[in-house]
Amino acid sequence: MTLSESSAPTRALRRLPETLVNRIAAGEVIERPAAAVKELVENALDAGAGRIEVLLRDGGRALIAVTDDGCGMSRDELEVAVERHVTSKLPDDDLVHIRSLGFRGEALPSIGAVARVTLTSRPREATEAWSLTVEGGRQGQPKPAAQPPGTRVEVRDLFYATPARLKFLKSPRAELQACRDTLMRLAMANPQVGFTLGDGEKTLLRLESAHPDLGADLDLTGNGLLEARLRRLGALLGKDFAENALAVEAEREGFRLTGLIGVPTFNRATAQHQYLFVNGRPVRDRLLLGALRGAFADFLARDRHPVAALFLEAPAEAVDVNVHPAKAEVRFREAGLVRGLIVGACRHALAEAGHRASTSVAQAALGAFRPQEGPAPASFTGGGAWRPSQAVSGQPAYGESYGAGLGGGLREAAATYHAPLPDLNDAPAARSEVLSESVTPALDYPLGAARAQLHGTYVVAQTQDGIVIVDQHAAHERLVHERMKRQLAEGGVKTQLLLIPEVVELEEPAVERLLARSGELAELGLVFEAFGAGAVAVREVPALLGQPNLQGLLRDLADELSEWDQALSLKERLEEVCGTLACHGSVRAGRQLNAEEMNALLRQMEATPHSGQCNHGRPTYVELKLADIEKLFGRR
């Protein structure tokens, strides 16, 4: 037998068994325990549940139990619910106007094909419940059961019928975390529903419905919806997010965007804390994530990511949710409109925040003062004398032969420290750094009145209830950047004519790509023309670029045009150049400022959007409340 004969394809066609077909289909929908949790919880939400409980064991491999108080199913409905493509969510067979989370009728049969499933359900108006089992695709007979109104689905031994899939699962802890993340996303989109997650030993997540706090007549529109979402997001993402969140609301051509985003200084090292929803459905869409990144591009360093939860309501005919087996991605008819809506709404919210910075910045500063290790904390005696509760080894307590424990140099330094301060009137240098209250404005400004400049870098201001420490270079950098952006928006991109055109040599394909988009690039201020084979002559450059390396600039543009086929890199480069010019054109660290200059800096910060963070996402000021300072010194 020859090699060609042995490798000849088999031409006989046969119909695969129904159980095998179901298992193949299940591999597309149920890829891990989190996918099963998602499908079952979505079914409970579609059933109108007000309370959903999820129980997991061994990360979902041994048991997934989802219990709800929804509408329930009768005996007849149970028998057909586990069949493929059986659903109650498409009454008009309309795949465009989908109003439910599920619609394909694949979840229960897919799970039943690879696991042992028990469904127990009772309609709200019924007096008895029924139970049905499915093992590896084989369906049993309904039996009477005890069950309150609602449905309970128990999935045991997930993937026992497809052992190969078990090898690709991660550790139980990782699978449990994935299930928790899935439930969190569904809980964010449904603040009116209570959720509980447990592992049989302890409760991992408990979220109360918004009804108890907001009243029986819960208003899930306007301020009622915003308050409910803020409470739910605060419970899931932490108190810090609730304190540093900005409301987002915008509407354009039938699309409505709402949600909450963190101020730029409240950021994370990864994009895991970005939650996006389309018509109540959690999605991981590149378009939406890219739009969110673009909205914060001017306020965060490239390795930092914002925290956000955005909810997009779109016309049914403008979005296709039937493009991914797990319904995790969507496709928009007008992608540019959606991206512009997200970028514009987020930037408007950031502009409305003004000079606001994250409260966690102050908490981090206070945490730096609190030692994590070391001797026991200080105690205070009734007489007011301060004594450590336990003296540091080798050092006497304060007041006990203090001078005897110091060497000569340290003794002199201590004496100098305790000596009376010199007369400031006789110290011109000191007079420029420490300001009297008579030469500073009132304290009722948001950033207070300047009191001193430390190390030629930090401006200290006093407010009504605390102090503010400003990094003068970072603050002025943002002010200059915003001024430059405003000039760009008002007058367009200003160009600089080169006295002698610069010839840049590139590969012929790169030159062809650049020449094909020369008109668009000219609108951005880069004007060039062909100069023989494999070269271009640059005649004008954006004035903001100063004297750029045109060889590297054009080469990068050509490479990016080849990869993305978009002339966006020059705009992005202009944003970067704005930041660079602002950095080099701002007040440098080490420069002495007088009282008028320091207060002028504070007033400009209060009037300039985004001044709470520099161009790289770092805070420009830290505010410490008087109560927090008093706690540091044990006065509270």
Most confident of 20-34, 118-132, 459-473: 118-132
Candidates 319, 70, 282; CA nearest to 189 is: 282
CA 265 to chain centre: 12
Give the pLDDT score at 180: 92
Most confident of 8-17, 185-194, 348-357, 523-532: 185-194
The tokens describing 360, both together, are 């966690």
pLDDT digits (tens, 9 = 90+) for 9-31: 556 776 766 666 666 665 556 88
pLDDT digits (tens, 9 = 90+) for 561-605: 666 545 444 455 445 444 444 454 445 556 777 888 888 888 888
Residue 311 bridge partners (DSSP): 258, 277
**Long-range CB contacts (< 8 A, 24+ apart) of 88-95?**
89/46, 95/322
Mean pLDDT computed over 439-448: 71
Q: Does domain 18-207 have CATH number 3.30.565.10?
A: yes
Q: Per-residue pLDDT for 368 more than 60? A: no
Q: Where in the chain is the domain with CATH 3.30.565.10?
A: 18-207
The tokens describing 8, both together, are 């000849």
Q: Per-residue pLDDT for 73 more than 80? A: yes
Confidence tier at 420 by pLDDT (50, 70, 90): very low
Confidence tier at 206 by pLDDT (50, 70, 90): very high
User: CA-CA distance, 475 to 599, in Å (whole number)?
Assistant: 13
Residue type at position 336: G
Please tell me the least confidently modeled range out of 392-396, 473-477, 521-525.
392-396
Mean pLDDT computed over 460-480: 81
Give the pLDDT score at 56: 95
Q: Where are the alpha helices (DSSP H) in 238-378?
A: 239-243, 286-295, 335-352, 359-369
Longest dimension (CA), the chain: 109
Residue 357, classed as helix, strand or coil, is coil
User: Using DSSP, how many helices (H) and how many strands (E) does the chain show?
Assistant: 22, 27
Residue 459 bridge partners (DSSP): 453, 470
**Percent of the chain scoring above 90 in pLDDT:** 18
- CATH code of the domain made up of 211-353: 3.30.230.10
Q: Per-residue pLDDT for 524 more than 80? A: no
Q: What are phi and psi of 91, to 5 degrees?
A: -60, -30
**Long-range CB contacts (< 8 A, 24+ apart) of 175-179?**
175/32, 175/33, 175/34, 175/59, 175/60, 175/61, 176/56, 176/59, 176/60, 176/204, 178/32, 178/33, 178/34, 179/33, 179/34, 179/37, 179/54, 179/56, 179/59, 179/60
| Mean pLDDT of the residues in the chain | 75
CB 322 within 8 A of CB 95: yes
Q: Per-residue pLDDT for 558 more than 70? A: yes
Confidence tier at 412 by pLDDT (50, 70, 90): low
β-pairing, 308-313 vs 255-262, is antiparallel
Give the pLDDT score at 453: 83
Greater confidence, 144 or 238? Answer: 144
pLDDT digits (tens, 9 = 90+) for 92-118: 555 555 666 755 667 788 888 888 999
List the beta strands (DSSP E) in 33-99. Answer: 51-57, 63-68
Give the pLDDT score at 389: 37
User: CA-CA distance, 192 to 209, in Å (whole number)?
Assistant: 5
**What element of type H or E holds 583?**
helix 569-585
The tokens describing 245, both together, are 């969140």
Mean pLDDT computed over 514-537: 82
Neighbours of 353 (CB within 10 A): 18
Q: Where in the chain is the domain with CATH 3.30.1540.20?
A: 427-636
Question: What sign for the dihedral angle of Cα 203, 207, 212, 216?
Answer: negative
Give the pLDDT score at 242: 83
pLDDT digits (tens, 9 = 90+) for 132-143: 999 987 888 999
Q: Per-residue pLDDT for 77 more than 90? A: no
Burial (CB count <10 Å: 0-12, 13-18, 19+), residue 344: middle
Greater confidence, 570 or 533? Answer: 533
Q: What DSSP line would sit under 224-273, residue for residue?
A: HHHHHHHHHHHHHH-HHHHHTEEEEEEEETTEEEEEEEE-TTSEESSSTT
Q: Does domain 427-636 have CATH number 3.30.1540.20?
A: yes
Instruction: Enter the pTM of the model.
Output: 0.61
Give the pLDDT score at 272: 84
Give the pLDDT score at 21: 66
List the beta strands (DSSP E) in 93-198. Answer: 116-122, 129-135, 138-139, 143-145, 150-156, 194-198
Confidence tier at 327 by pLDDT (50, 70, 90): low
Give the pLDDT score at 284: 83
Place of tokens 């969190």: 184
User: CA-CA distance, 448 to 436, in Å (whole number)?
Assistant: 14
Please tell me the least confidently modeled range out of 190-199, 232-241, 422-431, 523-532.
422-431
Burial (CB count <10 Å: 0-12, 13-18, 19+), residue 596: exposed
Question: What sign for the dihedral angle of Cα 348, 349, 355, 361?
Answer: negative
Give the pLDDT score at 28: 59
User: CA-CA distance, 591 to 585, in Å (whole number)?
Assistant: 13
Confidence tier at 154 by pLDDT (50, 70, 90): very high
Confidence tier at 532 by pLDDT (50, 70, 90): confident
Give the CA dihedral 40, 42, 45, 49, nearest 10 degrees: 10
β-pairing, 305-306 vs 267-268, is antiparallel
Q: Per-residue pLDDT for 635 more than 80? A: no
Please tell me the least confidently modeled range out of 182-191, 237-246, 580-589.
580-589
Residue 378 bridge partners (DSSP): 388
Q: What DSSP line would sit under 402-414, residue for residue?
A: TGGGS-HHHHHHH
